[in-house]
């Protein structure tokens, strides 16, 4: 009797699976139709410059002497990778990236917790206030921080004279203090971006898990480690990835504050200096290609390191 009733159910299950498969294929086809044009345009405007830069990097080519352009293969890459200037710029870029992203992650998480736990009536005001620095254009922000720390027009030296700062302290005269100011400007500008992404992650943590942990007697720190952070893994990965890529390509703050002087040159500024200032199209293109490869490697490391499947995070 049981067997007789169970057998008719098999074709129904197979039919449901078949229907679900058809529905999935139909949704995938619709997704490609909707996103295809935008994807093609994006590929065109991003792939073409990259391929053009790689092509130019294979030549010894100066805009001041276009007649003597010659094919040199990968020799430009050999010149760059054996030059200490590249590795100094790489080290400064990594230092700024690590410091700013680490500090922004901690501050952004704290701001996200404040926004979550604030009174409902105060949340819009808090979000607007926290977002103000991110709304400021990066160049304007860099000029503001440069004026604040300049020995002639700045107020920082006079305000903090009680800690021993001389009125003529030149913050941009040495690598350590100049990088400190650049990091400060970047942290002030982009911490709201990370806090917003983490706020979205906090909203996805099931409240029932928090309540169950409280009932079991878990402390605030234990709930944070065992419940909150594991359920925010996808949001943390996205926030760190986006911000790391952004910090690794830092340019505006360095250009405005120091113009790459006093040991503050980063990779983006090195590419600009070779291509625009020195008109070395071949070398500048090779620096740009290496910078692009570095960004791709960072993406791969984050995705592999976090082992997050964003489709599963969406519940698919």
Q: Are the C-beta atoms of 169 and 176 separated by less than 8 Å?
A: no
Same domain, 264 and 132: yes
> Is the per-residue pLDDT at 60 higher than 70?
yes
Average the pLDDT over 176-185 and give the result.
Answer: 92
Q: Are 129 and 247 part of one and the same domain?
A: yes
| CATH code for position 193 | 1.10.3720.10
Look at the chain and report how many structural domains it folds into.
2
Question: Do residue 76 and residue 112 come from a single domain?
Answer: no
Domain that holds residue 260: 91-205+240-269
Mean pLDDT value of segment 94-117: 91
pLDDT value at position 313?
54
Residue 117 has pLDDT above 60, yes or no: yes
Residue 247 and residue 120 in one domain: yes
11-30 pLDDT per residue, tens: 444 444 455 577 778 888 88
Q: Are 264 and 290 within one domain? A: no
Domain membership flag for residue 213: no
The answer as to whether 55 is a domain residue is yes
Most confident of 39-43, 80-84, 198-202: 80-84
Residues 201 and 116 in one domain: yes
**148 and 169 within one domain:** yes
CA atoms within 13 A on the CB side of 71: 2
| Residue 4 predicted with pLDDT over 50 | no
Instruction: Please give the share of the chain, as a percent, with pLDDT higher than 70.
Output: 90
Residues 51 and 134 in one domain: no
The answer to whether position 72 is within a domain reads: yes
Q: With respect to residue 28, please indicate whether it lies within any of the assigned structural domains.
A: no
Position 227 in a domain: no
In this model, does residue 6 exceed pLDDT 80?
no
What is the band of 119 on the pLDDT scale with cuts at 50, 70, 90?
Answer: low
In a domain, 248, yes or no: yes
| Statement to judge: residues 188 and 297 lie in one domain | no
Residues 109-128, mean pLDDT to the nearest whole number: 79
C-beta of residue 284 within 8 angstroms of C-beta of residue 275: yes
pLDDT at 311 > cutoff 80: no
pLDDT, mean over the chain:
84
Q: What is the DSSP string of 41-78?
A: HHHHHHHHHHHHHHHHTTEE-BTT-GGG-EE-TTHHHH
For range 280-292, the mean pLDDT: 92
Rounded mean pLDDT of 99-119? 88
28-46 residue pLDDT tens: 888 888 888 888 888 888 8
Q: What's the residue count for the chain?
A: 316
CB-based contact 192:134 (threshold 8 Å): yes
In a shared domain, residues 247 and 292 = no
Q: Are 136 and 189 in contact (CB under 8 A)?
A: yes
Residue 288 forms part of a structural domain: yes
Residues 53 and 200 in one domain: no
Within a domain: 67: yes
Same domain as 154, residue 57: no
């Amino acid at each position: 009797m049981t067997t007789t009733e169970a057998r008719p159910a098999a074709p129904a299950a197979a039919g449901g699976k078949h229907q679900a498969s058809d529905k999935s294929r139909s949704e995938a086809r619709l997704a490609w139709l909707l996103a295809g044009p935008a994807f093609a345009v994006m590929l065109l405007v991003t792939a073409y410059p990259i391929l053009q830069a790689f092509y130019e990097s294979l030549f010894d080519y100066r805009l001041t002497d276009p007649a003597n352009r010659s094919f040199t293969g990968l020799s430009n890459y050999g010149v760059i990778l054996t030059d200490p200037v590249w590795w100094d710029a790489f080290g400064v870029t990594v230092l700024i990236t690590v410091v700013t992203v680490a500090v922004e992650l901690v501050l952004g998480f704290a701001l996200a917790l404040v926004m979550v736990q604030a009174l409902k009536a105060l949340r819009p005001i808090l979000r607007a206030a926290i977002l103000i620095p991110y709304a400021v254009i990066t160049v304007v922000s860099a000029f503001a921080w440069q004026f604040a720390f300049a020995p002639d027009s700045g107020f920082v030296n006079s305000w903090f004279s009680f800690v021993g700062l001389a009125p003529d302290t030149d913050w941009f005269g040495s690598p350590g203090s100049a990088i400190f100011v650049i990091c400060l400007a970047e942290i002030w500008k982009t911490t709201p971006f990370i806090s917003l992404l983490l706020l979205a992650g906090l909203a996805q943590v099931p409240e029932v898990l928090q309540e169950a942990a409280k009932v079991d007697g878990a402390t605030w720190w234990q709930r944070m480690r065992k419940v909150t952070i594991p359920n925010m893994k996808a949001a943390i990965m996205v926030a760190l990835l986006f911000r790391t890529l952004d910090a690794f390509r830092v340019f505006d703050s360095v250009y405005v504050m120091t113009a790459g002087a006093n040991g503050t040159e980063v990779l983006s500024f090195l590419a600009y200096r070779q291509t625009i200032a020195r008109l070395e199209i071949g070398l500048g293109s090779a620096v740009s290609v290496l910078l692009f490869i570095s960004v791709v490697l960072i993406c791969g490391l984050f995705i592999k390191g976090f082992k997050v499947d964003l489709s599963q995070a969406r519940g698919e």
